[in-house]
Structure 1
């Protein structure tokens, strides 16, 4: 590249990884500014935000592909690496550190092994990942052969073409990741007044992996099997009112826009996916749709949200347990989402103190490195105040 042009841009080593149904730009911690304002400008410039197409950056113009994983050396002795997840706004200049992405977390172990941050062990390597967003340890079991993480295998993920090598994720130690409590309000069910309805509706707030607020789809006048683009703006407004109630009730930062996740729950029913594949009611325990502030629906289902939902389904009195029709565990909870079905194994116990304890929660994804390269970021954007 011409020397004069290089003066106007900086070079940044990047890797693109797919984890589950999401993609993210992976960055080494040493290549990311530590000053919060400089870091925000850097990430927005790298992704080409704000712009609905993210045409001048690496963003994929979708909430599932406008993601970043920052990987660094472990900051605590019981971890192999640190992992910071960042959700980058698309048409808005937002950089959020609110959540951990379960799908992208499945790629962190593969990345760490390929980068030789920890030694490869065969046939599997367990990678202990410290997620800095939540302060929790995630464990990834990665299939390995010939000194490298495996790519090919027979593991299927609805929403991802073909099959791949399984990455097993253990989220057993992530209770209270956002709020510090499994049941942030102290109970399995609360009642929230929804202005547009003019009445109170029941909701459940549960926090494992990522805090979620669960709403009966029928209470908002829908079935829960709708696909992206099929919900009216009113539904998103009502779900956001419930989320804001949960933010206040759980003492979360008011400026947050992602947490708790807003999840609509419906009874198990036949539906068709965004790829027009038929899913029968007998294949699932319930349907679930994650909706977001601003009027969008997740095209699959978030990993952290699926962990939380599987645990909630085993806590008596919650909206998911009601939809499932049972709550006794352990069990593999089958979630019907817009791209198909995800199964999460959970074991939740009711203790003598009328409390609930998560004994186990884990699931499988596939992950793959898509490319390595050099990104060029305009210096003028980094200097903008």
Structure 2
């Protein structure tokens, strides 16, 4: 399924091995990791198309389903289940209804999703006329051709998704190697950096940023140290925290930003990254808040990214911050995936 600006196979948890190591070996085989083209699998040779959603019965008392996200690296044979993915999250509600995990309602169906990676709850509202998900519609999201039916995602209590704290270091601004940063954990741990501090504007293309190896090496050194400051330990083999460059908007938005995955610049912007950056814009003292200026909640933050814009609505429900975004999703294929683990063929329904 395509979910937002990402794509990957979506599995029922019961169709995958229970043992995490064996499960990861199966996923590496199915995606074809270990080759930059992922020629032996379903991956598209890009981090955005090498993702997996695993959906099953809920283990949280307030949820309808569990969702485990797996970022399957392209060249390295590594599966990372430390982060969430908000784009693939948009596939979970429709998939759960299609597979009978949730009963579809007459018009719209609200599915409360427990993200196993972070422990976070997200409410997805799916268009379900006659109780079945529809995928055609008029909603357009930048980075995806055409239009589709909207999937509303409301992140419930976004603060401290991985570290337990909105500001994991205890400060709105820290300093690493002479560069000011803001570490924030809202849906996704982020390291927010003003682009100008690294000699950039924040409006560069992903190709331009990826090609500047001195810049990318410097960004990675900052990320590694930020991971330690955030209490995440050695993050050299993890995809969190994610670096985000910010700058002044160029096309009427609230802020311009570039999101890294973390070793390549995203060609659009991650949903969880948008939630995190939007929350940073509403958190006094952070670099993002200083750049966009003070404003009361509810607040609408429009982030300009390489493929256009993404909008996130920041609000507060009681003492907990919430954030909402709109995505679309599309089923692409349903069938059998073939994997090979330790020389043994494995056949899985996907």
Structure 1 partner of 2:45: 61
1:163 is paired with a residue of what secondary structure? coil
Structure 2 partner of 1:233: 213
1:246 lines up with 2:226 in the alignment: yes
Deviation at 1:327, TM superposition (A): 4.1
Distance 2:244 2:344 in 1: 36
1:321 is paired with a residue of what secondary structure? helix
Q: 2:259 aligns with which of 287, 290, 294?
A: 290
Q: 1:99 aligns with which of 83, 99, 103?
A: 83
Provide the TM-score with structure 2 as the length reference: 0.94
Q: Is the 8 A contact 1:45 1:381 kept in 2?
A: no
Structure 2 partner of 1:319: 287
Q: 2:330 aligns with which of 360, 364, 368?
A: 368
Deviation at 1:382, TM superposition (A): 5.5
Paired residues in the alignment total 342
Deviation at 1:358, TM superposition (A): 4.3
Q: Is the 8 A contact 1:217 1:265 kept in 2?
A: yes
377 and 286 in structure 1: CA distance in 2 versus 1, 3 angstrom threshold: same
Distance 1:228 1:362 in 2: 26
Q: Is the 8 A contact 1:211 1:261 kept in 2?
A: yes
Structure 1 partner of 2:150: 166
1:168 is paired with a residue of what secondary structure? strand
Distance 2:258 2:47 in 1: 15
Deviation at 1:293, TM superposition (A): 4.0
Structure 2 partner of 1:258: 239
Distance 1:188 1:50 in 2: 39
Deviation at 1:324, TM superposition (A): 1.4
1:370 is paired with a residue of what secondary structure? coil
Deviation at 1:34, TM superposition (A): 2.1
Structure 1 partner of 2:104: 120
Q: Is the 8 A contact 1:120 1:148 kept in 2?
A: yes
Structure 1 partner of 2:10: 26
Alignment deviations for residues 258-305 of structure 1 (CA, whole Å, 9 cap, x no partner): 111100001112xxxxxxxxxx2x2x11111012444x1111101111
Alignment deviations for residues 331-350 of structure 1 (CA, whole Å, 9 cap, x no partner): 1100001110000000259x
Structure 2 partner of 1:224: 202
Deviation at 1:174, TM superposition (A): 2.6
Q: Which moved more, 1:172-181 or 1:372-381?
A: 372-381
Decide which structure has the larger Cα Rg and report it: 1
Distance 1:234 1:110 in 2: 43
2:207 is paired with a residue of what secondary structure? coil
Q: Is the 8 A contact 1:100 1:134 kept in 2?
A: yes
Structure 1 partner of 2:310: 342
Provide the TM-score with structure 1 as the length reference: 0.85
Distance 1:30 1:250 in 2: 34
RMSD: 1.7
Deviation at 1:329, TM superposition (A): 2.7
Structure (1 or 2) with the greater strand fraction:
1
